[in-house]
Structure 1
Amino acid sequence: MSPTLVSAAPMSTELSPRAERFFLLTLAGIQFSHVLDFMIMMPLGPILMAALGIGTHEFGLLVASYSFSAAVSGVLAATFVDLFERKRLLLVSFVLFALATLACGLAPSYPVLMLARGLAGVFGGIMGALIHTMLGDAIPFSRRARASGIVSSAFSVSTIAGVPLSLWLANHLGWRAPFIFIAVLSVIFLAVGLRFLPELRHHLSEEKRAHLLSATFSVLGDANHLRALLFSALIIFSGFTVIPYITVYAVNNVGIAQQDIPLVYLVGGFATFISARLIGRWADKHGKVEVYRLVAGLAMVPLLVLTHVGAVPLWVWVMCTTSFFVLISGRMIPAMAIIASAAQPKLRGTFLSLNGTVQSLAMGLATTLAGYLTSLDAGGRIVGYPQVGYVAVAANLVAIWFVARIVMHGRQG
């Protein structure tokens, strides 16, 4: 049974094809900046631990500070995000994010770096929610999955170019260089955003809120919103039980050399860069729910293989990880179109801010649970990873079943 479609509120701004293209590429550039800022921390681990004299526990807190701060900012942003014009709020958040990232590069000590990472997470979380909000506001339902695929390609570009370049800078100029590079890059995309992003204010209403949390209560009081948030949590949970431990499993269990790990991400990044746009087009043409279910169903095969495979040659592992990256990330393209379309248009910003919080919390819970299910044996090999795969498959199956219960606000064709 397909979800019901109801008419959306009319948009105040109809973008020309050229303006829409620049709009999407600009959002993808902004997305690239804060995605790279999040991704670079994990491969920088050995360099940071040596430079700051910290252990694995302290480094884990450094990584987690970003996600937990993003979760908190999602709750806070939900109280005000729909009170402001979208472009202005996004660019102000982007400026503050760039300053926080620059502070990471200039941090004189571990505590200061921890604080700066938390601030980067706060503003990065707001930006992530706003980007998907602006997609929902400006792009018609019939093209929304394709648009989501274009913006999602920022993840692939980060994997292909951003992470290797940042690691090269860190190896030659020190661990501070990648953060300064991202801050400079953010200034460039900020200038592009000033030029090409349209003002979006049709969500603004003359009606005054009863109190600061009224929009949040309105979102949480809508059963369809709650179903969409649960669906979002299931998707993130099913991926992040497995993702954080892929590299350790590859080196310790599969026998992949540490110097070959960049190749794994390079190939996977190229593949997802191509597949993201194809999946977006298919979802708009053949139905977002139908394509989501197909891609999510196929994703269970590499998910199980990845968590069960033993020692294999590099090319076999690259095939496993590439199919995993393509299908696990590919689910998110129709899924985010579905989730964004589940919101009442006037509450979309508040809803997607709360969605960012839900996703960050699901990410943290999944990582924590996987940590309890796995351990290292005397030889340094991970044990318990197959159980993690079963948990991920179970969450994925629930999401596939549950998606039909979400009502989307939009129009076909």
Structure 2
Amino acid sequence: MAVAGAELNSPSNLRRERLVVLILAAVQFTTIVDFMIVMPLGPQLMRTLGINPSQFGTIVSSYTFAAGAAGLVASSIVDRFARRTTFMVLNAGFLIGTLCCGLAPSYFWLVVARIVTGAFGGIIGGMSMAIIGDVFPEERRGRATGSLMTGFAIASVAGVPLGQYLGTEYGWHIPFFVLAAAGVPALLLTPAALPPLDAHVGKSHDHPLRSLAETFTHSNHIRAFTLIVTLMIGSFTVFPYLSPYLVSNVGLSEKELSLAYLAGGALTLLTAPVVGRLADRFGKLAVYRVIAPFSMVLLVVITHLPRVPMIVALAVFGGLMMCNVGRMIPAMAMVTSSVEPRRRGGFLSANSSVQHVASGIGAFLGGKIVSQNPGEPLQHFGTVGWIAAGATLVSLWLAGRLRVADGAPVSAEEISLPAAAEAAVDAGEPMIGA
């Protein structure tokens, strides 16, 4: 049941929303670091496990493929359960998988552990967006999404460099142990921080296969999925190959490359909440149509960048990272609002699967186009940049075709928290609010 706007904007309700976002962002941070940390640990993993680059590629891709498959399965059944319960189960499974990665004694068991981690962790992002869709009214959804996206920025600025340092100094097992331990507080706080979000439970649900079919045949869902595919193609054709291009073609050292990621993460951390507020104030589509063309231009610029001073390369790279995350904020807010609340969990689980598959397609496509001989610059990267820019251009048209299919936000009574949990955030100002 909907409540009055004044009650939804009351200080106590805004404090509750702030705690919800804090928990979701904390979990988002651990899942992103877990996914990203494997790549900089590659040389050490290949050396200590005695594996070749192809086998290392299997370690990386096993997470993605498991996440895609799990997302498809979850999309047909996840709306039968309360959001909080589902979120806790997924997070617990992810942390167990991360712990198993640290305990893995061999290449085979590390791949198995990455599959387990991906099966749970790959769905958490979709479930987080479903919770935002249920808890936050549409007019504050952009800010909530922007705050959630700060998990990516903090992971880039602090999580990945710290994990790489721990792995280098103490062995590749240690970052996984630290991540698993760091995720426990958020897991324990979830029952107090999140409302049950079970209003959709008990309502009529179709057979799982029929639910899956309807998720992928609804016209508005298809438009949303297609938008996500263009966004991923517009990112992952380029981003996996930026590091070797900046080193081989632009002339950055590996130390300067770390500075590039730090600069990009810092810019994203500062601007993501601002983009969210602007999306709520001026409209998600309007903000997307402003940011996406900038990302399109920067994709072309950075893939054609010659040898330039380090400060120029850092500025272009940081601007691209900022615009890439900036366009995802209004896009994901629009996608979240494009599905009926009763189908939101299944749809966003399917969307997570589509994201992972499209990311893999983008990386595969980019890898087929670029080439590099030992000791020589990367070739044909400019072609990849034009493809990414073209996908971004198509996304501008697709974004305008999405339609809101939203119901009433969750009531204030349903998101009430125990007094102890509410007291935990009384000292700070609300993160989400007018």
Q: Deviations over 1:157-181 (max 9, x none)?
A: 0011101111111121100000011
Query: Residue in 1 aligned with 2:197?
Result: 200
- Is 1:17–2:14 an aligned residue pair? yes
TM-score (normalised: structure 2)? 0.90
One-letter code of the match for 1:395? A
- 3-state SS in 2 of match to 1:383: coil
Cα distance change, pair 411–290 in 1 and its aligned pair in 2 (3 A): farther
Cα distance in structure 2, aligned partners of 1:217 and 1:117: 28
Q: Distance in 2 between matches of 1:124 and 1:197?
A: 19
1:405 deviates by: 0.9
Task: Give the match for residue 366 of structure 1.
Answer: 362
Query: Cα distance, 1:257 vs. partner?
Result: 0.7
Q: Does the aligned pair in 1 maintain the 2:29–2:152 contact within 8 Å? A: yes
Distance (whole Å) between structure 2 residues aligned to residue 378 and residue 51 of structure 1 = 24
Q: 2:121 aligns with which of 106, 121, 124?
A: 124
| Alignment-derived partner of residue 61 in structure 1 | 58
Q: How far apart, CA to CA, are the structure 1 residues paired with 2:233 and 2:158?
A: 27
> Displacement, 1:378?
4.9
Task: Measure how far apart 1:372 and its partner are.
Answer: 0.6
Contact 2:94–2:116 under 8 Å retained in 1: yes
Shift of 1:335: 0.2
Pair 1:220 & 2:240 matched: no
The equivalent residue for 2:274 is 278
Deviation at 1:11, TM superposition (A): 8.1
Residues 253-332 of structure 1 aligned to structure 2 (within 5 Å): 253-332=249-328
Structure 1 distance, partners of 2:123, 2:143, is 23
Partner SS state of residue 85, structure 2? helix
1:89-120 per-position Cα deviation (integer Å, ceiling 9, x unaligned) = 11111111101000100100001101101111
| Structure 1 equivalent of residue 415 of structure 2 | none
Correspondence list, 1:54-203, <5 A: 54-203=51-200
CA contact (8 A) 1:11 1:138 kept: no
Contact 2:339 2:406 in 1 (8 A): no
Larger displacement relative to structure 2 (198-207 or 152-161) = 198-207
Letter of the structure 2 residue corresponding to residue 52 of structure 1: L
Which amino acid counterpart does residue 147 of structure 1 have in structure 2? A
Q: Deviation at 1:43?
A: 1.1
For residues 301-342 of structure 1, the C-alpha deviation after alignment (integer angstroms, 9 at most, x for no partner) is: 211111001112211110010000000111000000000100
The question of 1:252 aligning with 2:254 is answered no
Could you tell me whether the CA contact under 8 Å between 1:160 and 1:270 is conserved in 2? yes
Which TM-score applies when normalising by structure 1?
A: 0.95
- Deviations along 1:139-190, whole A, 9 cap, x unmatched? 1000101100000100000011101111111121100000011100111221
Letter in 1 for 2:344: R
Aligned-residue offset at 1:297: 0.8
Structure 1 vs Structure 2 CA RMSD: 1.8
SS in 2 for 1:16: helix
Matched, 1:232 2:228: yes
CA-CA distance at 1:214 after TM superposition:
2.7
State how far apart, in whole Å, the 1-side matches of 2:255 and 2:14 are. 44
Distance 2:220 2:140 in 1: 22
Residue from 344, 366, 375 that aligns with 1:379: 375
User: How far has the Cα of 1:271 moved from its partner?
Assistant: 0.4
State the alpha-carbon separation in 1 of the partners of residues 175 and 188 from structure 2: 20
Q: CA deviation at 1:263?
A: 1.0
8 Å contact from structure 2 (residues 340, 406) kept in 1: no
Alignment partners' CA distance in 1, 2:187 and 2:3: 25
Q: Secondary structure at the match of 1:42?
A: coil
Q: Is the 8 A contact 1:137 1:345 kept in 2?
A: yes
Once residues 148 and 374 of structure 2 are traced to their aligned partners in structure 1, the CA distance between those partners, rounded to angstroms, is: 44
Q: CA deviation at 1:72?
A: 0.4
Query: Tell me, which stretches of 5 or more residues in structure 2 are unaligned?
Result: 409-433
Offset at residue 212 of structure 1 (A): 2.1
Kept in 1: contact 2:341–2:407 (CA 8 A): no
Instruction: Give the Cα separation in 2 of the matches to 1:411 and 1:314.
Output: 49
Residue equivalent to 2:387: 391
Q: Does the CA-based 8 Å contact 1:11-1:202 persist in structure 2?
A: no
**Residue 33 in structure 1 maps to residue 33 in structure 2:** no
SS at match of 1:376: coil
Q: Identify which range, 189-198 or 174-183, moves more after superposition.
A: 189-198
- Give secondary structure in 2 for the equivalent of 1:79: helix
SS of equivalent residue, structure 2 residue 111: helix
Moved more, 305-314 or 214-223: 214-223
How many residues are aligned here? 404
CA contact (8 A) 1:142 1:411 kept: no
Identify the range of structure 1 (329-338 vs 250-259) with the bigger mean alpha-carbon deviation: 250-259
Letter of the aligned partner of 1:173 in structure 2? Y
Partners of 2:96 and 2:152 in 1: CA distance: 22
